[in-house]
Structure 1
Amino acid sequence: KPGRSISLERVEDYWGRDLPVKVGQENFDRLSVEYFRDVSVMVEAFKADSFDFHFENSAKRWATEYAFPAVKRGDVIVETFRTRQAEPMQGFVFNTRLKKFSDPRVRLAFNYAFDFEWMNANVFFDQYQRTQSYFQNSEMQATGLPGPRELELLEPLRDKVPPEVFTQEYKNPVGGGPRAMRANLKAAKDLLEQAGWNVQNGVLKNADGEAMTLEFL
């Protein structure tokens, strides 16, 4: 049924059905999959007992839409659990091919100006955790200062990596309140000035008079 479902039938004489890799798998002659092109419709179908399990990835829906009757009766169990796999990176990524973003001080300044804590509390219902690594929640995530074996790899590259890699653990700025954000914005302003960007008549400009502009995609 186009737009609603797809059904698959097992081929009886499939050449690989008795291979060890297939033992215990694909034990059904017919498999029907109903799919939804609109997530909201899928959630409503779950509430109506159309299927048994739903994985929710919207902070808003998780916080506001899971008090329906089946939950109150105990027929549906709402539960969070920690994953044991690397988490995907989610965030703003700068196009460093543009000259204005090629300077790491400019990118760091934007990080200081970004108030994750406020956004998490007011937009994401306190459901998010700040990404600290491209390899979050995995053994490849860098923590603490470089150890002896890491230093063996880093030393030949000392003049090619930021010096703070050797002296301080990376942590994102923390906002969430006027005092913290005042300090963060001061740090952002200092970094921008070091990179040649200053506020002129209310507009952030570089030495050539070009205004700082951003385009979000």
Structure 2
Amino acid sequence: MRNVIEGFLRFQQEEFPKRAALFKRLASNQTPQVLFIACSDSRVVPELLTQRGPGDLFVIRNAGNIVPSHGASPGGVSASVEYAVTSLGVRDIVICGHSDCGAMSAIAACTCLDHMPAVANWLRYADAAKVINAAQTHASPAHRLQALTRQNVEAQLANIKTHPCVALALQQGTLSLHGWVFDIESGHIDALDSRDNRFVSLAEHPEIHA
């Protein structure tokens, strides 16, 4: 914890003065154009991956980069999606999975989660990806996990489309969806190409979306 506090002190003393005008502007207003939904994994930092600064991204992070489908009992993720789309008017939503994801590893390996019932209940929102993955043949456990990570991104894109605010914005052409998978070791991102439903290099195809 000491390192965290020391980091804040360096920010306050060294970095904040350099951006004082920016923070003064942000103190009373935010206009992010992108909602970025990522895993809570400590190795995945949306602002670092995209080289964005304060005020640029509206970020939701949770175990497995999950978006529950629209229902009668909305939670924090649903409320944040609704706020980002309806109030902030974001133009793009990115759902970003990543390599070596603990949530996806637990699903792929059918890990017993009786000792973590809240986690087990949360991961049920990835059941569509789980069922599809289980019906396929994989060369190795690593390939199974890789496929599941991508299938989960696709499942969460399907889930988010059930939210009325998202459905309306998509129909009106004011919103675009993006599905990404970040590889921690290489720094590479693959993105879902909706034209043929496959993941391709984002660096080589920066124009694609889901």
Question: Shared topology, TM-score over 0.5?
Answer: no
Using CA pairs below 8 Å that are at least 6 residues apart, which structure has the higher relative contact order?
Answer: 2
**Shorter-chain TM band:** under 0.3
Q: Which has the higher helix share?
A: 2
Q: Which has the higher strand share?
A: 2
User: Scaled by the length of structure 1, what TM-score is found?
Assistant: 0.24
